[in-house]
Amino acid sequence: MTHDHDHDPASTSLLERQRAHLFFTWSAQRGAKGLEITDAAGARFEVAGKGWVWDLESQVYNVNAGHKHPHIQQRMIAQIQALPACAPAAVLPIRAELGELLAQKTGMAKAFLTTGGSEAVENAIKLARLLTGRTKVITRRNSYHGATLAVLEVAGDMRKQPFTATMRPALHIEDPYPARQAAGEQPSDWLASAEAVIEREGGESIAAILLEGFTGTNGMQHPPADFWPGVRALCDRHGILLIDDEIFSGFGRTGRWFAREHWGVRPDLMTVGKGLSSGYAPLAGVLVSDALAARFDDEVLWCGLTHYAHPISCAAAVGSIEVLEREGLPQNAERVGQVFARRFDEFVERHAHVTGHRGLGLMRALELDRDASELSARAWSLGAYLPQRGPLAFVCPPLCLREHEAEAICELLDRALLELGD
């Protein structure tokens, strides 16, 4: 017996076969489409029927070390051969090695490892509530911290809208852009809003302020200069924990190991993911400062996951961190990012519909006076995968991209902008 939904693999496209039995994310399923990626290397990937294209999204803004790096592959293969699966409490060399690397790179004491960024942020919130005995979490209005219900509830992203009827009202710092900078005794508008929220809610009720190190596809807004230091001071004054979300911006993406380094502020907790393993295996986590981690020496840590610190994911993360370090990829991201900054300045002068650009390192956005979907389509036809959202087109390639390759990409984007017309 056959059914309408049964498919003959020999006569059905790969897209149709996959769509028949697997959901596509953030999509109505009937019209959902995906690229058939057949190979990848460095800062490019190959698509069936098209060929090689520049990966300006790093897949999901996570392939920081570049595609198919042999060292990361070798690390993973070695762990698969040694021990591919084990319980969360097992003691393994690869887990100890990753813990040591994370402490070295972040300056934090201990990590709680998860499979994805949403889980990392959710566990950071759990930790903040356990540590403070308080419940409230403050975020920026234009923030995204993950897709679980608890994380969507506290953040400002529009993807929470289908669920807001059952959510508690969020506590948001208003963050208009461009921000009004501090002037004399007057703080910036972002910091003034943070002060107002704390005064209104009562500092003694707030567990944490959760901020992205540098905001991703919700705008890549540069914070005013007083914002990060000012929020740190507010947290110290009221006993509030500062959580730095570096899931998107961490592991070299902004030209520093972590974006908060641009502002010289130390958090109490930080979340990492994406570039932690360069996307080679699912892994994210919460890093906790020494003083806070010590609380759980004798208190129960009420957090746990089946795939906690999965050994293959740990191997991918160790390999990725080693590549980032040995090849100087955070420093390379800073250098190559300056190529894009210079060329994007030229775009603003040359193309009337380019209204500006923003970003750090290889985490950048072009802003148009119109929806950027047509620019994305033209870039695709010329050989680049250019993600976009509204008027912003995002340029976030793997950190292994070289300066001459950035110039070639800019030539491609310049041509796409010329085809766009005025």
DSSP 167-235: SPPPEEE---SSPPPPBTTBPPHHHHHHHHHHHHH-GGGEEEEEEESS--TTT-PPPPTTHHHHHHHHH
Domain 21-55+328-420 falls in which CATH fold?
A: Aspartate Aminotransferase, domain 1 (3.90.1150)
For residue 421, the model assigns a pLDDT of: 76
For residue 2, the model assigns a pLDDT of: 39
For residue 359, the model assigns a pLDDT of: 98
For residue 367, the model assigns a pLDDT of: 98
CATH of 70-326, one of 3.40.640.10, 3.40.50.150, 3.40.1010.10, 3.30.1540.20: 3.40.640.10
For residue 11, the model assigns a pLDDT of: 57
Mean pLDDT by 10 residues, the chain (422 residues): 48 87 94 94 97 98 98 98 97 98 98 98 98 98 94 92 92 97 97 98 98 96 98 98 98 98 97 98 98 96 97 98 98 98 97 97 98 98 98 98 98 96 68
Domain residue limits, the chain: 21-55+328-420, 70-326
Cα distance between the two ends of the chain: 58
Torsional sign, CA 152, 102, 243, 204: positive
Residue 25 CB neighbours (<10 A): 8
C-alpha triplet 374, 378, 383: angle, nearest 5°: 145
Give yes or no on whether 21-55+328-420 and 70-326 have one common fold.
no
What is the β-pairing status of strands 284-288 and 363-368? unpaired
Which residue shows structure tokens 């769509």? Answer: 19
Torsional sign, CA 248, 57, 420, 405: positive
* Single pTM value for the model: 0.95
For residue 4, the model assigns a pLDDT of: 43
Residues 6 or more apart whose Cβ sits within 8 Å of residue 320: 64, 65, 69, 72, 251, 275, 276, 277, 278, 280
Strands (E), 9-106: 37-41, 44-47, 51-55
The closest alpha carbon to 219, from 61, 388, 64, belongs to 388
For residue 1, the model assigns a pLDDT of: 41
Chain mean pLDDT for the chain: 95
C-alpha to C-alpha distance for 43 and 30, rounded to whole angstroms: 31
